[in-house]
């Protein structure tokens, strides 16, 4: 079982090790982490799939180290491994280009550096035999990005009362809450506010005593009518969209739903992988809500985890809140959608609009400016 005190994957600095086969990537990762994480061999192509390890490194804090297959891999399977390696790059905050000092990697390196530049990934170079501790020190001194805002920044202060509505249904993991709920409740407690947790059916009594109500997006239709008008209501997905994404881009995407035509293709992108069930949010509820809002019969394609490829015939992207994704990765997804002129919207906003709730009322004041 994972350490309950560990930092979630999305909150870690992602460091990927890239280069040609047998350049020494796995050896460097093991030395960097001071552990035998990756298999090391003189046989070219030993690493066939990305190998990830979450670690706490004294100079760096919470990290996710990722070993990758060589970019010069060959054959049908080799080309698939190269594609997977490049998909890992899109999730990285830092890339380490590893070379052995005698192989001619110039062509591969040039293409790799261009891709890093396009994705705004910081790159460090390492040649076999260089000082590993110096590399760690250089990376530790590197500023990755501005501090990520809190989920409840500007919404909750010490002493406020916050009601979290957490349905326990088929999608709820047995014996625990889902990550967005846990993180929001924890942040509320860190602020010094008073957190109360209920299910939708138990929303009774004087709810006007609360300063904020945060609900699972799937329960908007049931929850919204019960909340007094003077109490602010929002959703977990909207909070994460604000923290990790671009609410203005999502609002523009929501407005474009009315422009969809029959048989338009919609990409529904989830940042995690989980067991599907008969009322799954991504494959059932979001498609149902989109067809209700657009009045059209649509085609749906789905992606999950780190996979995110926008085909040329996609008309709309619906992105989850991104609790399992880093802010950098969510912003890259939005940037990619903008670059191909495909509107993108957030799960929670779609479900709220389908429930007849004004999305404007769910947004924090700083998102309306």
Residue 72 has pLDDT above 60, yes or no: yes
With bands split at pLDDT 50, 70 and 90, how would you rate the model's confidence at 267?
very high
CA distance 300 to 346: 16
pLDDT digits (tens, 9 = 90+) for 152-164: 998 999 999 999 9
Listing DSSP states for 254-305 in one string gives: HHGGGG--TT-EEEEE-SS-----TT-IIIIIHHHHHHHHH-S--EEEEE-T
- Helix ranges restricted to H, the chain: 25-33, 75-89, 106-119, 132-140, 179-191, 220-223, 236-244, 247-255, 286-294, 327-339, 347-354, 359-362
**The pLDDT of residue 258:** 94
Terminal Cα-to-Cα distance of the chain (whole angstroms): 44
pLDDT for 4 beyond 50:
no
pLDDT at 39 exceeding the cut of 60? no
Distance of CA 175 to the CA centre of its chain: 24
Mean of pLDDT values over 123-128? 93
Whether the predicted model's global pTM rises above the 0.75 cut: no
Q: What is the pLDDT of residue 146?
A: 54
Residues 89 and 361: their CA atoms lie apart, in Å, by: 37
The rounded Cα 181 to chain-centroid distance in angstroms is: 15
pLDDT at 278 over 60: no
User: For residue 106, is pLDDT > 80?
Assistant: no
What is the predicted pLDDT for the residue at 262? 97
Stronger pLDDT, 44 or 229, i.e. the higher one: 229
pLDDT at 38 over 90: no
Give the separation between CA 280 and CA 292, rounded to whole angstroms. Answer: 17
Please name the residue that has the structure tokens 């970019």.
71
Tell me: pLDDT of 138 over 60: yes
Q: Rg for the chain (alpha carbons), in Å?
A: 22
Name which residue leads in pLDDT, 320 or 34. 320
Dihedral over Cα of 294, 296, 302, 307: its sign = negative
Distance CA 326, CA 81 (A): 23
pLDDT band at 176 (very low <50, low <70, confident <90, very high): confident
- Consecutive H or E run containing 96: strand 94-99
Closest C-alpha among 297, 338, 292 to residue 317: 338
- Inform me whether the pLDDT recorded for 261 exceeds 90: yes
Read off the pLDDT of each residue in 306-334 and give the average, rounded to a whole number: 85
For residue 90, give both structure tokens. Answer: 């899109």
Of the pLDDT bands very low, low, confident and very high (cuts 50, 70, 90), residue 41 is low
Closest by CA to 46, choosing from 62, 63, 30, 64, is 30
- pLDDT for residue 293: 95
Give the β-pairing of 51-57 and 61-67: antiparallel
User: What is the share, in percent, of the chain residues with pLDDT greater than 90?
Assistant: 40
């Amino acid at each position: 079982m994972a350490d309950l005190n560990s930092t979630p994957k999305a909150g870690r600095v992602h460091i990927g090790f890239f280069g040609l086969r047998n350049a020494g990537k796995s050896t460097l990762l093991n030395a960097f982490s001071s552990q035998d994480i990756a298999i090391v061999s003189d046989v070219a192509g030993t690493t066939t799939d990305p190998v990830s390890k979450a670690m706490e490194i004294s100079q760096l804090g919470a990290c996710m180290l990722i070993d990758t297959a060589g970019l010069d891999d060959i054959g049908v399977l080799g080309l698939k491994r190269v594609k997977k390696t490049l998909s890992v790059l899109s999730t990285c905050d830092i890339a380490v280009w590893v070379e052995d000092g005698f192989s001619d990697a110039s062509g591969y390196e040039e293409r790799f550096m261009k891709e890093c530049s396009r994705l705004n990934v910081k790159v460090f170079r390492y040649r076999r035999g260089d000082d590993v501790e110096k590399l760690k020190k250089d990376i530790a001194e590197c500023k990755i990005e501005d501090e990520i805002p809190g989920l409840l920044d500007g919404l909750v202060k010490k002493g406020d009362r916050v009601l979290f509505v957490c349905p326990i249904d088929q999608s709820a993991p047995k014996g625990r809450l889902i990550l967005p709920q846990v993180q929001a409740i924890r942040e509320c407690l860190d602020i010094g506010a008073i957190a109360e947790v209920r299910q939708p059916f138990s929303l009774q009594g004087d709810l006007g005593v609360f300063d904020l109500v945060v609900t699972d997006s799937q329960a908007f239709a049931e929850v919204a009518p019960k909340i007094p008008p003077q109490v602010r209501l929002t959703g977990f997905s909207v909070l994460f969209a604000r923290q990790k994404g671009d609410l203005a881009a999502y609002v523009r995407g929501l407005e474009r739903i009315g422009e969809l035509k029959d048989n338009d293709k919609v990409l529904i992108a989830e940042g995690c992988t989980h067991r599907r069930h008969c009322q799954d949010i991504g494959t059932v509820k979001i498609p149902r809500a989109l067809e209700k809002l657009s009045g059209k019969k649509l085609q749906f394609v789905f992606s999950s985890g780190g996979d995110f490829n926008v085909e040329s015939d996609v008309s709309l992207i619906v992105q989850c809140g991104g609790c399992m994704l880093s802010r950098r990765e969510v912003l890259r997804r939005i940037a990619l959608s903008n670059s191909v002129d495909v509107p993108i919207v957030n799960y929670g906003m779609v479900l709220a609009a389908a429930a007849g709730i004004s999305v404007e009322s769910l947004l924090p004041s700083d998102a309306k400016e």
